[in-house]
Chains A and B, each alone.
Chain A
Amino acid sequence: MAKKSNQDASQIVIQMKDIVKKFGDFTANDHINLTVHKGEVHAILGENGAGKSTLMNVLYGMYHQTSGSIEIDGREVDIDSPQKAISLGIGMVHQHFMLVQPFTVTENIILGMEPMKGMVVDIPTARKQIMELSDKYNLKVDPDAKVEDISVGMQQRVEILKVLYRGANILILDEPTASLTPQEITELMEIIQNMTADGKSVILITHKLKEIKMAADNCTIIRRGKYIDTVNVEETSEDELASMMVGRKVNFNVEKKEQQPGDVVLEVKDLRAKDYRGVEILKGLNLKVRKGEIVGLAGVDGNGQSELVEILTGLAKAESGEVLMGGENVVNKSPKYIFEKGITSIPEDRQKHGLVLDFTVAENLVLQNFEKEPFAKKGILQKDQISAHATELIKEFDIRPVGCETRLAGQLSGGNQQKVIIAREVTNDSELLIAFNPTRGLDVGAIEFVHKYLVQQRDKNRAILLVSFELDEIMGLSDIIDVIFDGQVVGSMEGKNADENTLGFMMAGGHKDE
């Protein structure tokens, strides 16, 4: 993609100087500087919990800095609320969506600044404006759909639209591509390019080095709350960026030894299901996963992956077809029954399905096994055992901060939340592990960790079904790659023989032999 570099040093729009933000004894931001120019895409790179979000929350008025100053367009400002930030032309798209689930897309976008017609909210006009914006930036949202019914990908686009609707000049995008498909990411990059050409500035918080290389002009690196450097992206390699971020060299390639797969663990036969609108979304899907292999299910978001995983975990019902687990058909059984039969999963939405955010880390780590010995005896919870179990896993899986047994899961960073889920699911010792976008929103260090554990589980002869929208992840990990398109598996190939072009072609609905 052509990179635009129309920065003009005289046109500094944001100048954050020596920003310090403390939470009690903890320093989240330790003298951080950030300079953003007009029309620039400025990436902020750092591990989970490095302090990127804190810095952006300071800029957006969610927190107030302990010390340091902020200048917008050359004027020192005191941003004491998001309202103030919005009035200064700053808009933020959060990593975790802030949408009202039962409201429609239109209602969510206009929330807080509803166009009025006399005493009533003028929905038709708002709808029209939103459609225009959506078309202009190619965001493809359905303005009348309820947010609770739309995919994670579309929810993200609604969030972006929300900011655009408020006419922001400076857009902060916190992990905007975490849930987008490769095509959507390309489209988003085009949107970003249109916006910067328009004179808007974009701050991109991302862990994905590839995207930084693709879209950003400059990149500021933060590590453990400290400012490391600001570099010109053109002149810096991905490896250099990664080691500046993590503070050591990062291994991008997943190491995996050859292994002969064993018996079939999971077999899905002619599975059919409808989505929330009653439209058939799984149209006779067939799939097999054997012991000691990782089957990667590649595909673009919305081709039936969510429905498939929901059926495999018992959360949704199929219309017809079979899910054979060790020969027994478990389709349409309860989640508990399916869990007992040996299917565990790393869910796509860790905050909605993976964790009870108001439970402690220790409680979350026994969320399925709390009734079993040694965690409970005769219906009484054994707090000591639960706590000791947590201490062990926190150490083994390097869940931070250290000693977080009694912390609420909601207080951990996204990467550490994911570690809690992974720690729980891989220690369940089930026969089949389903991982659905297991590295969504994680930084390279955490991704390396997740991938290492998935391969380790495979080497322990577990069957693994990896459902991911990240083609790199699928190609790096899978022994077998199945491609899902329009509710069916349309092609299958060995992981080591796969190439991106063929996969991409099949994911878009083409056939391998065409």
Chain B
Amino acid sequence: MNKKSRSILESNALYTLIAIVIGFLVGAILLLMIGDNPGVVYSTLLDGVFGKPKFIVYSIIYACPLILTGLSVAFSFKTGVFNIGAEGQFVVGSLAACVVGIFVDVPAPIHILLCLLAATGAGVIWGGIVGFLKIKKGINEVLSYIMFNWIAFYLSNYVVNLEAVHRTGGGEATKDILDSAHMSVPLWITALTKCTDSNWGILIAIGAAVLVWFIMEKTTLGFQLRAVGYSKTAAEYAGISSNRIFMISMMISGALAGLGGATQVMGMGGRISQFAAQEQYGFQGITVALIGASNPVGCIFAGLFYGAMKYGGNKLTIINVPSEVINIIMGTIIVFIAISHVFKALLTRGKGGNN
């Protein structure tokens, strides 16, 4: 077997694509079982994403928070931590951005910057507390992450219902953030895309991905993060403090998820509604990180894919197909990515290995 075909067989991208194809196949089987024509459903889905420029713009808008929570989870994976708390960090991030967006009255560029900083800071604190508990008290981070997701959930609902924050008139939500805090695009772009929710949040997501890549690959901090992620024992032997690295990793990871929350409030919603259930942005970030193989660029594509699926999936209700089929497809993809090393072993069996 020549080198080229081997490197393709060993690359993760191939197995991700296989998993995506299998995900759609399984979705098709399920659609057949409930009496729907997969061809019609999938063409509706495609049309829902690519049918009009506006749809594409919406898919990108949907992708933006997912790319950021995906980066958050991917960043933690690289250091051997599983940030299942991106959900909570996302919530406190959006809450902080929302509160600053409502109450601070400064000119637009400064206001936006303040909101983003507040959201990032909130995410850092939320992730940092869990890091502190892990390092100082030896509490497993997965447990505290999950608990902090719920603390964030109820904290958000509490703040939303404060008299000063709650909107007057109808709706269980906060007041709208000031116009100066909106990440709105110039009117000519809105006119072009015919999408009133157009915003430049995607630039933040891409910027964050580049920053994550830069930190991981180019800086001494990234060197330490990766060393601890690959081998905590060897890193410690070389004098790298794994506790310090865990703490930094969990704070940066929190910052990214918090930033995701900000883009959601400042780009799309403009307010926070009272939650009835967790919004799942953080958990969907886990999916994005897995599909993107914890690679920053991979996360951008995986986030765009998931964003498109979410947005396009909404259109399925028009043809009376439950949009949950999207969740099934995404779930199947994750299962097959998780077991992709089995395919890999089967396909490269006896053809490789180290001596």
Which A residues form the contact surface with B (CB < 8 A)? 23-26, 28, 49, 51, 53-54, 57, 62-64, 313-315, 334-336, 338-339, 347, 352-359, 363, 367-368, 370-371, 376, 379-381, 410-411, 413
Contact = CB atoms under 8 A, between A and B. Distances in A.
Contacts of A64: 349-350
B355 A51 contact: yes
B244 to A, nearest CB: 10
A53 B224 CA distance: 33
Contacts of B236: 315, 335
The 5 closest A-B pairs by CB, nearest first: A336-B239, A353-B237, A358-B230, A64-B350, A367-B238
A55 to B, nearest CB: 10
A370 B350 contact: no
Given A353-B234, A355-B231, 8 more contacts: A57-B353, A315-B236, A336-B240, A356-B234, A363-B223, A367-B234, A380-B220, A381-B220
Given A371-B220, A379-B219, A23 B353 contact: yes
Interface string B199-223: 0000000000000000000111111
Given A53-B355, A356-B231, A368 B238 contact: yes
B353 A339 contact: no
23 contacts: A24-B3, A24-B352, A26-B355, A57-B353, A62-B353, A63-B353, A64-B349, A334-B239, A336-B239, A339-B238, A352-B233, A352-B234, A355-B234, A356-B235, A357-B230, A357-B231, A357-B234, A358-B231, A359-B226, A359-B227, A376-B220, A379-B220, A381-B220
B191 interface: no
B227 A356 contact: yes
A23 B234 contact: no
B52 interface: no
Contact of B237 (A26, A313, A411): A313
B233 A370 contact: no
B77 to A, nearest CB: 13
Nearest to B219: A379
B1 interface: yes
B354 interface: yes
A49 to B, nearest CB: 7
Given A353-B237, A379-B221, A381-B220, A49 B355 contact: yes
Interface in B1-44: 1, 3, 6
B105 to A, nearest CB: 37
Interface in B225-276: 226-227, 230-231, 233-241
Given A23-B352, A63-B350, A368-B239, A381 B223 contact: yes
Contacts of A23: 352-355
- A interface, over-half SS: loop
Contacts of A63: 350, 353
Contacts of B234: 352-357, 367
A134 to B, nearest CB: 28
A49 B218 CA distance: 33
Interface string B61-86: 00000000000000000000000000
A336 to B, nearest CB: 3
B218 A380 contact: yes
A370 B223 contact: yes
Given A24-B6, A368-B239, A356 B219 contact: no
B158 to A, nearest CB: 40
Contacts of A24: 1, 3, 6, 352
Nearest to A53: B355
A28 B227 contact: no
Nearest to A353: B237
Contacts of A347: 237
Interface in B325-354: 349-350, 352-354
A28 B355 contact: yes
Contacts of B238: 335, 339, 367-368
B203 to A, nearest CB: 24
Contact of B241 (A57, A334, A352, A371): A334
Contact of A353 (B218, B233, B349, B350): B233
B241 to A, nearest CB: 7
Given A357-B230, A358-B231, A411 B239 contact: no
Contacts of B219: 379-381
B31 to A, nearest CB: 38
Nearest to A314: B239
A79 B332 CA distance: 34
Nearest to A347: B237
Most chain A beta carbons < 10 A, residue from B219, B231, B353: B231
Interface centre among A338, A367, A413 (most CB of B within 10 A): A367
Given A347-B237, A379-B220, A379-B221, A410 B354 contact: yes
A347 B350 CA distance: 33
A422 to B, nearest CB: 15
B6, B223, B230, B234: most-surrounded residue (chain A CB, <10 A): B234
